[in-house]
Each structure stands twice: as structure tokens, then as C-alpha cells.
Amino acid sequence: SLNITDANNNTLSIVNSVAQIDIDEIKPPKPRLNKKAKATLICPQEKQAPFQLIPTLCRRNRDCRKSGNNFRCCNLFGSKRCVQGVPKPIPEPPHDPIFGIPRRCPKQPLTETFWEIKTCQTDNDCWPRVCCPDGDKKYCRTSQPVFEESDNPAARQLAYPIESVSQYLQCTPPPPVIFDIHPKSCNSTLDCFPNLCCQESGKRHCRPPRRSLLALVTGLTSRFNIGVIKDITDNLVIKK
């Protein structure tokens, strides 16, 4: 202890204590890990690959480092070339059945005219639709019922009629990027008629349907006219 006298002759006692620190117990701080791991890039499909007038040929990925770290050596259009990689697709999560009918993300998506474009994480964010991966994000999409896997015989009988009718509302996939330079944007199918307003990731573009509704109307009208003409000719009486 240490005694100190102040200006008023009061004695102050100060006790010095030394903390005992075990240096061996001191651990260096752990390095912070980046929560967002770097996405694994893969080769794009031919319809996603950009147009290259003079492609850079390669044999392996390291041959493309001069083009950039995001480039990959991909076998496209009959040759190996350096193209910019795309993120690995997000796997599709399982979906709960509705009314006992299994569901999945549509391979041929329906037009989403009456729904807004909405990102999601689970199906709870989209009900009654489902949460489907599209590129590097997930979007709410109208599900495709799998009637063939249903335990209900009546549901399995509806598979073919519903699939036939839904083809008039199913969007065709976009053409390759080199041919899809200026796609027409839309907000509803009225902006695209007789085509459909189709959701592609976070945008909407006009695309042809799998089966043309205009061709259906034309065919029905033609059959109706032929039937009417046939009835008239059958009832026609030729007077001499």
C-alpha cells in the first residue's frame, strides 16, 4: 500500500493490486467468415450464351483467366470457348400437395397476368402459388399439378383435359440471347394479344403461347360455318 498526504494533512491509503493474467489463456480473435460464400459459376446453356463473332478458344478454365475471373471454358456451338459463367441453379424445394394433388414448379410456366412479380424464400410467401428458383433468385409462380401421381382416380382422369387446355396459357421459352435483342415488355396479356405476357425472372415480356388461341378460334369458326352451310344445302329445295 502507498500513503499520500493531501493539502489538509489527510492521509490517503492507496492499495495497488496487480491482476494476474495468464498469457497462455489469451487466444487471438477468430477471423470473420464471409457469410455470403462466393457463388459457383458454371457454363451457360447455348440459349443463354452471348453472341461472339470471334470467340476465344480454350481447353481448360485456366486458359480463360486473361478474359476475367468469371469466365469459364465451355463447350458451346461445337467448340470450346471462353464465356462468362453463370451462377449454379438453385435446387427446387419440395412443395406441399393441395387437395391431395402433388405440385411442382412449372417446366412450361403459365402467364402470370393476374399476379404481381414477387420474390420469395418459401411457399408460405406465395400461397396458393409456389416458390420456384429462377436464375439466382426465387419467385412466386403458378404451380403445375402432377395429376398422374395423385392417389385420387378422379384427379388422374383430369390430367389430359387440363393439360390440353393449359397449353393455350403456357409461355414458350425465350429464344437465344443473340436473337432476343429487344423483347417487348408488357404488363398484361392485352399488351401482347394474341401472344401472352410472360414472367421471366423479374421482368415481363411478350411471348407466343404453346398453342395459339387465335388458331383455336379460327378453327372453331371454320367448323361452325361449314356446319351452317351444310344445313342450308341439305334443306335447300331446287324448284324446276
pLDDT digits over 139-154, tens only? 999 999 888 888 888 7
Question: Could you report the per-residue pLDDT of 34-52, keeping only the tens digit for each?
Answer: 444 445 889 998 888 888 8
Question: Could you report the per-residue pLDDT of 61-93, keeping only the tens digit for each?
Answer: 999 999 998 999 999 989 999 999 988 888 998
Cis-peptide into 91, omega within 30 deg? no
Cα 64 from chain centroid?
28
* Helices and strands in the chain: count of H runs, count of E runs: 3, 12
Please give the single-letter amino acid code of residue 124. N
**Is the confidence at residue 176, as pLDDT, over 60?**
yes
**Is the confidence at residue 33, as pLDDT, over 70?**
no
Residue written as cell 414472367? 199
